[in-house]
Amino acid sequence: MGKNFIERIKKLDKLTPSETKIADFFSRNYDELVFENLSSISRKAEVSKPTVLRFISKLGFKQFAAFNDELRKELKSNHDSMHIRYSLKKKVLNDGNDDIIAQTFTNTINNLENTYNNIDEKKFNLIAESLAKCDGKIYITGQRSSYALSYIFNNMIRRVLSNTILIEPQSSLVPDALIDITDKDVVFGIYRRPYSSETNSIIKYFAEIGSEIILITDSELNPLSKVSTHQLSVNTEGVSVFTSSTSLLAILEALNIAILNFCDESVADRLEKAEHIYKKFNTFHP
């Protein structure tokens, strides 16, 4: 059970047998408690509804809704805990139907729709323009599970822009990649829960240099929001214990297209040259 609630229960004076039942139920089912209501707690703890309300009042909550809100906040603070996410997702799956594919696709569609509806088009285009017209270098980073996405994005825009540098995931090599950065450079970071300490350190170093910082993230209130120049927030809620990458990938693909609007005719020459080199090295199977 979360520390906040443990401490509150510990501070209570003598518990009645019924209150002990509730406290025990809360402790054993904390990870799923946010899905319960007054009636279900009463039934499962085998006590009356008024008893549940009195116990919640003893914990310092005037209403059940306030108690539930506090639970949600505490669970959110533990969002990075894999076992908590597992418990919550398992509960949702068990309460739903057996069609995992349908649940996954429904969740994906919801993420895409919510992301699209909440994207600021002006900010989106400003980010695309900043990348296309960067006078320095464009450093792309996203460590841990976000590295695959940063690799894909670098691969996409590298064919259009010649000044991109992908920061590799080997932590011992990161300092070498940062030696030459200046305040004319841009760092493009993919930053989602659980937030990587390495990405955090990399972005903060760019902030110290005075570089422009662009973040694609899952929350406007992420730990790096105060140092970012621009950021786009996307929905990453997933059916599994892992966050979804669909909306992130959609935004990266959209940015790749938007960047073309700010490029000159030299891009066509660059793409033609790339095609020639691919054929020369048999890069792709015919």
DSSP 140: E
Please give the Cα distance from 66 to 108 (Å, whole number): 31
Residues 183 and 275 placed together within one structural domain of the fold: yes
Residues 63 and 167 placed together within one structural domain of the fold: no
Tell me what the mean pLDDT of segment 19-36 comes to.
76
Q: CA torsion angle for 202, 205, 207, 186 (degrees, to 10)?
A: -60
Confidence band of 1 (pLDDT split at 50, 70, 90): very low
Please give the Cα distance from 153 to 188 (Å, whole number): 10
Residues 127 and 27 placed together within one structural domain of the fold: no
Q: For position 180, what pLDDT does the model report? A: 94
Q: Which domain CATH number covers 37?
A: 1.10.10.10
Residues 74 and 108 placed together within one structural domain of the fold: no
Q: What is the CA radius of gyration of the chain?
A: 24
3-state secondary structure of 224: coil
Beta bridge partners of 23: none
Looking at the chain, how many residues does it have? 286
Please check the confidence at residue 2 and state whether its pLDDT lies above 50: no
Highest mean pLDDT, choosing among 52-66, 87-101, 180-194, 224-238? 180-194
Confidence band of 191 (pLDDT split at 50, 70, 90): very high
Tell me what the mean pLDDT of segment 89-95 comes to.
57
Residues 25 and 110 placed together within one structural domain of the fold: no
Phi, psi (degrees; rounded to nearest 5) at 144: 55, -130
| Boundary-marking domain end, from 27, 62, 78 | 78
Tell me what the mean pLDDT of segment 77-102 comes to.
59
Tell me what the mean pLDDT of segment 253-266 comes to.
92
Please check the confidence at residue 79 and state whether its pLDDT lies above 70: no
Which contiguous run of DSSP H or E holds residue 18? helix 17-28
Domain membership of residue 251 (yes or no) is yes
Confidence band of 88 (pLDDT split at 50, 70, 90): low
Please give the Cα distance from 120 to 230 (Å, whole number): 11
Q: Which domain CATH number covers 216?
A: 3.40.50.10490
Domain membership of residue 41 (yes or no) is yes
Q: For position 252, what pLDDT does the model report? A: 97
Residues 64 and 130 placed together within one structural domain of the fold: no
Which token pair is 124? 């989106």
| Boundary-marking domain end, from 78, 94, 119 | 78
pLDDT in tens, 195-221: 899 999 999 999 999 999 999 998 887
Domain membership of residue 264 (yes or no) is yes
Number of domains comprising the chain: 2
Domain membership of residue 99 (yes or no) is no
Q: For position 76, what pLDDT does the model report? A: 59
Q: Please, are residues 224 and 200 in contact by the beta-carbon 8 Å criterion?
A: yes
Q: For position 212, what pLDDT does the model report? A: 98
Please check the confidence at residue 223 and state whether its pLDDT lies above 50: yes
Give the count of beta carbons closer than 10 Å to the beta carbon of residue 99: 10
Domain membership of residue 128 (yes or no) is yes
Helix axis angle for 246-260 and 100-118, nearest 10°, is 40
Please give the Cα distance from 203 to 179 (Å, whole number): 14
Q: For position 66, what pLDDT does the model report? A: 87
Contacts of 74 (CB under 8 A, 6+ apart): 2, 4, 5
Residues 153 and 18 placed together within one structural domain of the fold: no
Domain membership of residue 186 (yes or no) is yes
Please give the Cα distance from 167 to 173 (Å, whole number): 9
Domain membership of residue 116 (yes or no) is yes
More confident residue, 144 or 243: 144
Phi, psi (degrees; rounded to nearest 5) at 139: -95, 130
| Residue reference for tokens 């994207």 | 119
Please check the confidence at residue 6 and state whether its pLDDT lies above 80: no
Lowest model confidence (mean pLDDT) among 35-39, 133-137, 149-153: 35-39
Residues 206 and 108 placed together within one structural domain of the fold: yes
Highest mean pLDDT, choosing among 14-28, 33-47, 138-152? 138-152
Lowest model confidence (mean pLDDT) among 63-72, 128-137, 166-175: 63-72
Residues 71 and 114 placed together within one structural domain of the fold: no
Residues 124 and 64 placed together within one structural domain of the fold: no
Domain membership of residue 166 (yes or no) is yes
Tell me what the mean pLDDT of segment 139-162 comes to.
94
pTM for the predicted model, two decimal places: 0.70
Contacts of 57 (CB under 8 A, 6+ apart): none
Give the count of beta carbons closer than 10 Å to the beta carbon of residue 6: 14
Contacts of 266 (CB under 8 A, 6+ apart): none
Residue 140, domain extent:
104-280
How much is the mean pLDDT over the chain? 85
Residues 151 and 252 placed together within one structural domain of the fold: yes
